[in-house]
Structure 1
Amino acid sequence: MKKVTMFVWNNFTNDARVTREAKTLQSHYDVTVIAKRENNERHILLKQSYKEGYTAVRKHKTELPNFIADRIYNNKLKTILSKHMPNAFLMMKMIQEGYRQDADIYHSHDLNTLIQGAVCAKLRTDKRILIFDAHEVNTSRTNYKAGLVGTIEKFLIRFTNRTIVENETRATYHELLYGYRPMSLYNYSEYYDIDEVEAVDLPLKYDKTFIYQGGLQEGRGLERLLRAFWQADIPANLLMVGDGKIRPQLEALTRSLNLQDKVTFTGRVPYESLRSYTKIAYAGFQILENVNFNHYSASSNKLYEYMMAHIPVIATDLPEIKRVVEKEGIGLIIKHDSEEELTAAIRKMFEDEAMRDQMKAQMKISKEQYNWEKEKQKLLNLYQDLEVD
């Protein structure tokens, strides 16, 4: 059986997309995922075998001790020693492990692992296959320097045998940048029956629960969501499932709006438990802001997670999301920057139960098309084509 080694720049405990791909490939290949482990993640195993048959190998990130970092007053030097050097050493550890795996195919998830894949696959006499799986648009992304990132990506992409992007909008953008069209692989949810999922038991005040699940980060419209939920003034819960940098600000805003009895922050939920939370929802939010092309072109795995659980959505008018929501009739579309439209949509979804039930029924039909069991064949075909080449 041929070997596949994947690289991810996370701890591989909640990465739904990579997990789905590893599961899919495991039936045909010996799959290992090389991930990272931060200093505050020592409870996570360095090596872990999964029941589906694939393995995760995590390389520990060695960081500059705080007592040394606190004594460095030059900010530029401090950044180099406390951020860039630990990342560089971690990349070297991942490359070393990648060579040790001696894989037939290397599969780099996103740009921050492409150099690891390129070195392991191409810096050898017997070249190996390299796949670049771009989950994000790295040349237009929040907190990324587009010029520098674009230069790095353009250099590294020449070493790849195939490129994967999330959807057709991003495939067109990639083609304009680099002159060839990559394969689109949509991040659909695995097919399952929500009736077989046990609902989580939470001490919520009201019967109806609206849900947001995902990262608590800038550009997700979350401050606007809290304000709109306050303005809607409805007897319903708002469940915020996830964690992220702006959680303290969101919790502070919740207190300032006096929404503590309605809004619950769960923190990060393990991927295998997420469905239990989704199940209790009356409706869900996917309200990305159009702050860059990465957001503008997003397909959103949350949309398909809601669909699989028959949870109607309130979503912003970004092209890939709008196309599915309007075509399938599974939610309400609002302008991405309109707090008024978001407030009105919350009220309408809450009050019009007949409309909501119709959307819910349509989701039961739509999920038969938008699911990973159908989409995964594209990934298997790509691997088979590479072996023929």
Structure 2
Amino acid sequence: MMSKNVCMFVWNNFTNDARVLRECTALSEEGYKVDLICIHDPNDQTMKFEENRAGNFNVYRVRRYPILFTILQTYYRFCLRYKLVGVITFIIWMLTACFLPLVILPLTLLGLLILKTKVKTVFIRGSIISRMIMKGSKKKYDLYHSNDLNTLPQGFICSKWRLNKKPLIYDSHEVQTSRTGYDSPIYGMMERFFIKRIDSMIVENHTRAKYNEDLYGFYPDVVHNYPFKQTAISNETVNLHKILQLPTDEKILLYQGGIQAGRGLKQLIQAVPKFKEGTLVLIGDGRIKADLVKMVKEMSLQEKVRFIAKVPLNELSKYTINAYLAFQVLNNTNFNHYSASSNKLFEYMMAGVPVVACDFPEIKRVIEGENTGICIDSHNPSAIADAVNRLLEDRKLRNQLSENSIKASEIYNWDREKELFMNVYTKRFSSYFKAIETTISN
């Protein structure tokens, strides 16, 4: 029997990546041996460089910073804190470098340049990619799997720069050519180059698959972003009312996920003064969180808006179930947002929590098709408030939407969707092994 060893790459710490967790778990359960290569967080003292998630599923984290960079960064901070001592140490170092000018001096100058300019970002990312490639080349894998564009070069080099080329699956969780932070045309050029050299592509929904077909001429496999099927058990919930010191009858209006631009969170906070009751609770972290906290303070909404830091993925559902209703109010800032079907939408559904959501095609198809919430213009705070107040005033409607959500969770869950995911692997491995057998027979 031939082996089924898979090397998967993802550009994060793999602490809250629900989709990658589901995929790796599904593969492991079906007898594939999966090594996931991701990035270590030096600020998290509890994070391991290696861990075994299941018998066939191992996680390997590469260093974020090169050792030399870490030394130079520590020294730079030391100099800033102890200016006089730092200057003396620097002079001694430079005098010592005179005896080894071909090694120490260039490294010193390069280190200072890296610490002080934009070269730092390029240098760090390049070194991470290099370490991922080295890690992915150490073992004999039968297939490589790259999650998103930022790991596609790693997968391409490991799978194709070799005598015996291996299959490469490109799993695009986002629309790489139209998403926040990806404005440079270089991303589109990169994807167009690599996409001609992959063996399979996976996207999140059919809207994005059609977009890909229009752009590149082929229709990729679709694997929706549905969560694991869950059964809410009351004694496994986290008491948010107690944590936030809210009255037990206070209605929690929940947003969970990244606190990032384009998520409609500013409009959501602007809508809060118009809510007839309830407390808005935002669970998560992100780049604009400090701006939102400031905004809440300026609007004197500290009693009506509460923030909770990101919680572990396996704990999140225990928080979600506390909500009276929840939000998914993306803004139409790019096609990535417009075409999203969003994991959190289905997490709310699993918990039986009705949703107030943007009226984008994939989200609207689910919500109105299953009658699990209200779709609104997410750019309009008044429209958000009207939907919230409707659910606050009509408890019967809210409960009906909650019941519909629980019923819909029987359809929109990973237990069903993983069959489509495994079909991609079965098809790809079947083609791969057939090619090997043909080569051997010839």
Name the CA distance, whole Å, in 1 between partners of 2:183 and 2:163.
Answer: 34
Deviations 1:306-340 (A, max 9, x none): 00110000001111001110111000110121111
Describe the SS at the equivalent of 1:315.
strand
Letter in 1 for 2:41: E
Gaps of 5+ in 2: 81-108, 432-442
2:285 equivalent to 1:243? yes
- Find the counterpart in structure 2 of residue 362 from structure 1: 404
1:79 is displaced (CA, Å) by 0.8
2:121 equivalent to 1:83? yes
- Find the counterpart in structure 1 of residue 164 from structure 2: 126
Which among 224, 245, 268 is matched to residue 186 of structure 1?
Answer: 224
Contact 1:205-1:262 within 8 A present in 2 as well: no
Deviations 1:220-242 (A, max 9, x none): 0101111101222x331211110
- Find the counterpart in structure 1 of residue 8 from structure 2: 6
Deviations 1:2-36 (A, max 9, x none): 10111000000110000000000002200110000
Name the CA distance, whole Å, in 2 between partners of 1:53 and 1:280.
Answer: 35
1:277 is displaced (CA, Å) by 0.5
Contact 1:30-1:54 within 8 A present in 2 as well: yes
Name the CA distance, whole Å, in 2 between partners of 1:230 and 1:7.
Answer: 44
Which among 324, 333, 343 is matched to residue 282 of structure 1?
Answer: 324
Contact 2:256-2:282 within 8 A present in 1 as well: yes
Name the CA distance, whole Å, in 2 between partners of 1:345 and 1:57.
Answer: 45
Describe the SS at the equivalent of 2:195.
helix
- Spell out the pairing of 1:86-105 with structure 2 (5 A cutoff): 86-105=124-143
- Find the counterpart in structure 2 of residue 50 from structure 1: 53
The 3 A distance-change label for structure 1 pair 172 and 25 is same
Name the CA distance, whole Å, in 1 between partners of 2:231 and 2:355.
Answer: 19
1:68 is displaced (CA, Å) by 4.8
Gaps of 5+ in 1: none
Which among 51, 61, 64 is matched to residue 64 of structure 2?
Answer: 61
- Spell out the pairing of 1:220-299 with structure 2 (5 A cutoff): 220-232=263-275, 234-299=276-341
Deviations 1:77-125 (A, max 9, x none): 7111x10011101101000000113211100000000000000001000
The structure having more radius of gyration, on CA atoms, is: 2
Deviations 1:30-83 (A, max 9, x none): 011000013323431000111464110000111642765999998997111x10
Letter in 2 for 1:299: S
2:356 equivalent to 1:314? yes
Name the CA distance, whole Å, in 1 between partners of 2:114 and 2:165.
Answer: 41
Name the CA distance, whole Å, in 2 between partners of 1:73 and 1:90.
Answer: 19
1:146 is displaced (CA, Å) by 4.3
1:363 is displaced (CA, Å) by 1.1
Contact 1:23-1:52 within 8 A present in 2 as well: no
The 3 A distance-change label for structure 1 pair 76 and 59 is closer
- Find the counterpart in structure 2 of residue 163 from structure 1: 201
Describe the SS at the equivalent of 1:120.
helix
Name the CA distance, whole Å, in 2 between partners of 1:282 and 1:171.
Answer: 34
1:362 is displaced (CA, Å) by 0.7
Letter in 1 for 2:252: T
Name the CA distance, whole Å, in 2 between partners of 1:13 and 1:245.
Answer: 18
Contact 1:228-1:343 within 8 A present in 2 as well: yes
Describe the SS at the equivalent of 1:370.
coil
Contact 2:259-2:286 within 8 A present in 1 as well: yes
Deviates more, 1:201-210 or 1:315-324: 201-210
Name the CA distance, whole Å, in 1 between partners of 2:44 and 2:153.
Answer: 24
Name the CA distance, whole Å, in 2 between partners of 1:349 and 1:267.
Answer: 27
Taking every aligned residue pair, what percent have the same amino acid on both sides?
A: 39
Name the CA distance, whole Å, in 2 between partners of 1:297 and 1:388.
Answer: 32
1:203 is displaced (CA, Å) by 3.1
Deviations 1:176-200 (A, max 9, x none): 1111110111000111111366111
Under a length normalisation based on structure 2, what TM-score does the superposition of the two structures give?
Answer: 0.84
1:172 is displaced (CA, Å) by 0.3
2:78 equivalent to 1:36? no
**Which stretches of structure 1, 4 residues or more, deviate above 6 A after TM superposition?**
69-77
CA RMSD of aligned residues (A): 1.9
Name the CA distance, whole Å, in 2 between partners of 1:30 and 1:326.
Answer: 40
Letter in 2 for 1:46: F
